Amino acid sequence: MTTEREIRLSSQQAAVVDHVDGPLLVVAGPGSGKTRVLTERIRYLLSNVPGHFRVLALTFTNKAADEMRERLADLGDARQRAFIGTLHSFCLDLLTERGKLVGVEGMPNIFEQFKDRKEILLNAIKDDPALEAELDQEGDAKARGKRVDAWLQGISWVKAHPITCAVIDDDLERRVLEAYDNGLRASNAYDFDDLLLLAYRLLSGNPKLAEFYQRLYKFVCIDEAQDLNEAQYAVICALCGESFKNVMMVGDPKQSIYGFNTSSPEYMDRFKAEFSAQLVGLTENFRSSKSVVDVARSLDSNYLVAAQLPIQGLVKLIVGDDEEDEAKRIVDQIQVLFDSGHPDVEGGIDPSKCAILGRTRFALLAIEKELRERSIPFYKRLTANHENESEVVDDFQLALRVVANPRDRLHFAALAKKWKVSEPDATNDAAKALASMASAAGSVSGRAAAVVAAVASVLRNTARLDLMPAFAVLTSYADKLDEDEKLPIYEDVEVFRQEWDQYLRSDSSTQTIAGFMSSKALGATQKASREGVALLTVHSSKGLEFDVVFIAGMAEGSFPDYRSSAGRELLEERRNAFVAVTRSKRLLYLSYPLTRMMPWGDRRRQSPSRFIQEAGLSQ
């Protein structure tokens, strides 16, 4: 008799789900049910393995974590025995609970925005005559700016390599890093890289603490292992110590596309060797049609598919005269699909089943304009540190930061500058300082007063945190303004409201302003799904799937990028194309323009990408 479980899992998938003790490396191709296997293994461990233990499931994206939590909701109380989240969110929790050993008091306040980190470094340089003298050698402002950006990149590189960069030999490099870190700590703040670096130091420097977590989490499951970097792998190794081996990694080296961010599939190989892990391959594709799989195989001849869907699907080339014509032809085709559907896509085709991908945002500009002009709904991924459209909501976000962290001199100074008032003295009563600043705000006093009133409406309720009264205050302020000033506030408040709603749905039992701001910084408050056509870069489409995918701007020099003409860079471009193609479940359209206006103003002829030629596509 065939059980429901056997129907739902292939033999390859079942071999992974049923694995209990010992290290396991799963190489999972696109569409092979990777997230499903990971989820079902957690279910199996919590339901069938006796004992009081927890499972640590580390994902690469918040979307994957949300999806896994939803799939396991039927476990009831047993679901609470699994931590499912990103490695950054695990490190945030770890440092919040145990961070005193590495100097972290309470929940770390995260400065996630590049402009804030740059401001911290610039202030640190001003306070250090040696660094200022070094920068003065650069001459003009542009060269100085480039040097500061290079220093910031260098800081991130060092923090992302806690083992190979454990000792910094260069005196200037060390001085820059120390000045920057001192500037962060003066505002009681940390950056993204600190979460991993300090978690590594905490666990590697305190083996007894690592042993406590090994007893707490009997099993560790790691998703998207091809995207690990040195710092992430170091945290995992420090957590496991010398003896802990119940680790499963799942990934696909063919989908490693974050090399620019220091990640590498080499850590999958290192895990296999250093942990003596058993290797299992998931080589079936339950996502994509035959036509899509054929294009994926043209990009990587080593991509072998043991089983696939019996659906033909479609791959088609679209060529525009220029980028505007390319955009028009893509949107024409989308409209045809909306009107007529396709026999290989069940239930008709609506905007949410479609995605248009570009190697960069530049490839999508004309398409965005065309979609807007035709009133076709679309969305661009909202990143964790998106820019607000309105001043008042931007000010409110700054005000929340300083209420959560009164030592945050950087954002106090930013708010004072926007309100054209002097920065308040150091204080523990941020709300009082904000009110004093608002009363002196002059030309922007109405806006400042609205922000202070919004903050006060939040702080008034001491029983539980609730931001809804603040949103009411901000929209009430907007109601008194002209239409063109009112709409951006409404839109920003709506985004904030969605983020707040997402935060309330999180696992956290106690909600705080600091917790909400940290969740925002980590991207955990983004909505997992949106209405409309997805207009995304290849990198932001990772982990998503759509019935219909268009890949725009596929010309030589654009995709692959002109800076990636050989070696490792070209291999990564090929993996980018592989990821883009395998986002499609049924229909795939590749497009390019015959000519394109370049950013510097010249119109240039375009030739089709080598990836189009290798797929054997022609008009």
The pLDDT score that the predictor gives to residue 34 is: 87
Q: Is the pLDDT of residue 445 over 90?
A: no
Count of C-beta atoms within a 10 Å radius of residue 7: 7
**What's the mean pLDDT in 437-456?**
92
What is the DSSP code (8-state) at residue 562?
T
For 184, the token pair is 């962060």
CA-based R_g, the chain, Å:
26
The pLDDT score that the predictor gives to residue 100 is: 96
The reply to whether 33 sits in an annotated binding site is yes
Q: Is the pLDDT of residue 136 over 70?
A: yes
User: Which residues contact residue 502 at a Cβ distance below 8 angstroms, ignoring those fewer than 6 apart?
Assistant: 524, 525, 526, 527
Name the residue with higher pLDDT: 258 or 358. 358
The reply to whether 35 sits in an annotated binding site is yes
The reply to whether 262 sits in an annotated binding site is no
Name the residue with higher pLDDT: 618 or 383. 618
Supply the pTM of this predicted model.
0.86
| Structural element, H or E, at residue 6 | helix 4-8
Q: Is the pLDDT of residue 184 over 60?
A: yes
Q: Is the pLDDT of residue 477 over 80?
A: yes
The pLDDT score that the predictor gives to residue 92 is: 96
Cβ atoms 574, 295 nearer than 8 A: no
User: Under DSSP, is residue 596 helix (H, G, I), strand (E, B) or coil?
Assistant: strand
The DSSP result for 159-172, as a single string, is: HT-TTTTSS---HH
The pLDDT score that the predictor gives to residue 118 is: 95
CA distance 569 to 487: 43
Q: Where in the chain is the domain with CATH 3.40.50.300?
A: 11-97+198-282, 290-381+530-615
Cβ atoms 395, 412 nearer than 8 A: no
CA distance 155 to 170: 13
**What's the mean pLDDT in 1-25?**
77
User: Which residues contact residue 523 at a Cβ distance below 8 angstroms, ignoring those fewer than 6 apart?
Assistant: 62, 383, 384
Q: Is the pLDDT of residue 308 over 80?
A: no
CA distance 176 to 458: 39
The pLDDT score that the predictor gives to residue 88 is: 95
Q: What is the pLDDT of residues 88-114, one digit of tens each?
A: 999 999 999 999 999 999 999 999 888
| Structural element, H or E, at residue 372 | helix 365-373
pLDDT-wise least confident of 114-123, 134-143, 250-259: 250-259
CA distance 510 to 434: 26
Cβ atoms 460, 375 nearer than 8 A: no
The reply to whether 601 sits in an annotated binding site is no
**What kind of fold does domain 11-97+198-282 have according to CATH?**
Rossmann fold (3.40.50)
User: Which residues contact residue 32 at a Cβ distance below 8 angstroms, ignoring those fewer than 6 apart?
Assistant: 12, 13, 282, 283, 284, 285, 286
* C-alpha angle 457-462-468 in degrees, rounded to nearest 5: 40
* C-alpha angle 515-381-475 in degrees, rounded to nearest 5: 60
User: Which residues contact residue 97 at a Cβ distance below 8 angstroms, ignoring those fewer than 6 apart?
Assistant: none
The reply to whether 595 sits in an annotated binding site is no
The reply to whether 28 sits in an annotated binding site is yes
> In percent, how much of the chain has pLDDT > 70?
96
Q: What is the pLDDT of residues 493-543, one digit of tens each?
A: 998 998 898 888 876 667 899 999 998 888 887 765 578 999 999 988 888
CA distance 274 to 297: 31
CA distance 588 to 575: 17
User: Could you tell me the sign of the dihedral formed by the alpha carbons of 158, 159, 163, 169, in that order?
Assistant: positive
Q: Which CATH superfamily is domain 290-381+530-615 in?
A: P-loop containing nucleotide triphosphate hydrolases (3.40.50.300)
CA distance 37 to 10: 10
What phi and psi, each to the nearest 5 degrees, are found at residue 196? -75, -45
CA distance 515 to 517: 6
Count of C-beta atoms within a 10 Å radius of residue 500: 20
